Structure 1
Amino acid sequence: MTARPLRVGLVCPYSFDHPGGVQNHVLGLAQHLRAQGHEPFVLGLGHAELPGALAGRFTSAGSAVPVRYNGSVARVRFGPGSAARARRWLAAADLDVLHVHEPLTPSISILALWAAEVPVVATFHTATPRSRSMQLAGSTLRGTVDKIDAGIAVSEPAARVVRRYLGRDPQVIPNGFRWAEFAGGGRSTGGWRGGDHPRLVFLGRVEEPRKGLGVLLEALPAVRAVHPDLEVVVAGTGQRALPSWVRRETSVTDAGKAALLAGADVFVAPHTARESFGIVLLEAMASGAPVVASDLPAFTSLLAHDRDAEVGVGRLFPTGDAGALSAAVLEVLAARDVVGAERGRRHARAFDWSVVGPAVEDVYRRVLEPAAPRVADPADGARDAGLATARRSAS
């Protein structure tokens, strides 16, 4: 890494008033960079209260507008006013390197990219094969793509989308998280992790069909037929009618999420589409909760089932198949596999910011010092470490 601290601009195209995976990743990376002595500055939409040493380092480019985008609702902002704010922010921050996230989304990331006069690193989060923004970029935004000095994809499925439409080969660096914040959950010494009754947890925006809550609700009667005392917790934002026996948590703090996962006997991720990573799966595994997830490419890759299904962590079921989901949940509750849970903890640790953050810093070093050698891809290291651990545990 360069000897001096770097001034790094991080741009998120989505509103911080409605937290999501990209927003959390940007804030987590900013915290890591500041802890390493760098000077991170964040440009985003809405409002964000950055903690501790990051206080005062967030600049808002204005409020966001909800629009239908890539089959979902994105809260973005685009226009001359936002472009002017991006230019003023760039001038005031006096950056060494600009790091834009989802650089081709019609929002402030692309506006900052257009205005940049410093080296640019771009992280691609989208893993949707039919992404409209990527299709458009590949055909009409070649000059914009050429401004990117180094590309990062958060998963191999996301990297395939970049290769397909942009003809670039990004380095795969996974999303990071703070493993220790979730690893404090107590190990079960008898009974269920959730107390006197088994506990199943779902976490996600309940009104968004792709999060798969409908699939889970269809699967639950079969599970409750075997475990009539099952406690079902649905946590996350949004409004949706739910059965009376479902416990609803509408506002979950970071500490509350960690506590909820620490008491989960099974965590279910029944998502049906457009997932590029799956950080909540890692949070659940770090807490020691067994994970049951749909076999979306991103989840398959994250749980290390793409290389050797015999030693992957967690359990996968065919996406959208409620019967297979109920069977997988029943198997997990019957097995109560403490060894498998510990294997999941170790696998998740490979995605801690202490591993992921230095890999991102290395990309900054290479765009500033092009002759510098590239270090090993941490995504490969994380997957290899998880597989090696799984093999040792299975033997």
Structure 2
Amino acid sequence: MRIGLVSPYSFDVPGGVQLHVRDLAEYLIRQGHYVSVLAPADDDTPLPPYVVGAGKAVPVPYNGSVARLLFGPVTAARVGRWIEHGRFDVVHVHEPVSPSLSMLAMWACEGPLVATFHTSNVRSRVLHAARPLLQAGLEKIGGRIAVSAEARATVRTHLGGDAAVIPNGVYVDTFAQAAPRLRWQGIPQRPTVVFLGRIEEPRKGLPVLLEAMPRLLAARPGLRLLIAGPGDPREVLGPVDPAVAAACEFLGAVSEEDKARLLSSGDIYVAPNTGGESFGIILIEAMSSGAPVLASDLPAFSAVLDEGRTGALFRGGDAEDLANQLLALLNDPARRRHLRQVGDARAREFDWSRVAAQIVSVYETVIAANLPVPATVPAARRSSRRRRGGS
């Protein structure tokens, strides 16, 4: 199968959608498919051989974050050439309603088209207002995928129609086999808590975790907080108590290998996110690494953690409840062992071997619906079949 994947976001910065596209592409290639990925990228960005750079992206505020997007007539021409030269059996665009490559590919594609919706934003006035402009492109999509029930609700509320829920995937064994790093590991008197995310982005929740730290340190004076992710620590540590600052170790942006090692090294992984999350891939990665997870009770996080059965939850935005739940986990080694066991089983439900098979099934269905009807089929049946294939 010849598959074209389109990422709306630049490959020169980390992000959940980019990682999803990359991992899916590499899994499909290993299964023997031809895959080409089109993505924004600066000219000097090192790219895998299967990625085609479409030009430099522009930072744009989007869904409580900053996305690096690419749009315009020159880019549209590049997208058209990529589709023409690729001779794809199916084109799979991600986030087709963001003003970037995926939207342009959606408009340009004339063959089998699949779209994955990642965003959860049920109150989006922009999406609601833009729906009439997007409708012609959206009607081309033969297979709609949402990564979660929350993303599906966004599709149904603002774009009309429905979508099959197929979650993000993880290479579970890659994280499960990661070797802990000694300097990141804790001991009973000096446990380590791990946070990973863009530290200056409020919705990632680091300020909530830092607000909980005085109570945590009062009960566990030796506790260390390992913070990984891009951003300037001075932006978040300015108003923080010196004792809290001393307990924090900022690691900066980490590689994928070091991310897996960090998650496998900590005593507890904390996800204090305050909103704007449609899934929770980092929770799956943490559980794959054997880390007990404590997360805010966002609907998407609750769903990943099976409503608290495979990870602990606290009231989102509530620093006191975060501290209470975290201390309860630190004081209960048996529960942490239990969460590691059930977390591993839960994570394997999201392994790429399962997720990619579901996506390929969507491809096959959409391709079959777009196949030419044999001339021997009566005209009335040909017309009916074409109408069904375009629905």
Greater Rg by CA: 2
1:89 to 82, 89, 110: 82
Partner of 1:273: 275
CA distance in 1, matches of 2:253, 2:158: 38
The 5 Å alignment of 1:1-395 reads 6-46=1-41, 49=46, 55-184=48-177, 194-195=186-187, 197-241=190-234, 242=237, 243-305=245-307, 312-336=309-333, 337=335, 338-370=337-369
| TM-score, with length taken from structure 2 | 0.87
- Deviation at 1:71? 3.0
2 CA distance for matches of 1:259 and 1:70?
30
Structure 1 or 2: more helix by fraction? 2
Q: Which amino acid aligns with 2:186?
A: G
Return the alpha-carbon distance in structure 2 between the equivalents of residues 236 and 186 of structure 1: 20
Question: Tell me, what secondary structure is at the counterpart of 1:23?
Answer: helix
Identity of aligned residues (%): 49
> Any stretches of 5+ residues in structure 2 without a counterpart?
238-244, 372-391
Question: More displaced, 240-249 or 59-68?
Answer: 240-249
Deviations 1:297-353 (A, max 9, x none): 110111111xxx5xx211111110000100110011111221221110110011010
CA–CA distance in structure 1, aligned partners of residues 288 and 320 of structure 2 = 27
Query: 3-state DSSP class of the match of 1:75?
Result: strand
- Contact 1:203–1:234 (8 Å) recurs in 2: yes
Measured in 2, the distance between the counterparts of 1:252 and 1:346 equals: 26
Deviates more, 1:24-33 or 1:312-321: 312-321
- C-alpha displacement of 1:128: 1.3
Query: After TM superposition, what 4+ stretches of structure 1 lie above 4 angstroms from structure 2?
Result: 47-50
Per-residue CA shift, 1:352-395, capped at 9, x if unaligned? Answer: 101101000000000011399xxxxxxxxxxxxxxxxxxxxxxx
More moved, 237-246 vs 129-138: 129-138
State how many pairs are aligned.
354
Shift of 1:186: 6.8
- Give, in whole Å, the separation in 1 of the partners of 2:284 and 2:143: 26
Q: Which one-letter code corresponds to 1:252 in the other structure?
A: V
Equivalence for 2:385: none
Q: TM-score, normalised by structure 1?
A: 0.86
Distance 2:145 2:29 in 1: 20
Q: Read off the aligned partner of 1:276 and give its amino acid letter.
A: S
Q: Residue 13 of structure 1 aligns to a residue in which SS?
A: coil
Structure 1 unaligned spans of 5+: 1-5, 373-395
Distance 2:339 2:193 in 1: 17
- Using a 3 Å threshold, how does the CA distance of structure 1 residues 356 and 246 change in structure 2: closer, same or farther? same
Residues of 2 paired with 1:319 and 1:174: CA distance? Answer: 22
Report the CA distance between 1:136 and its aligned residue.
3.1
The letter for the 1-side match of 2:297 is D
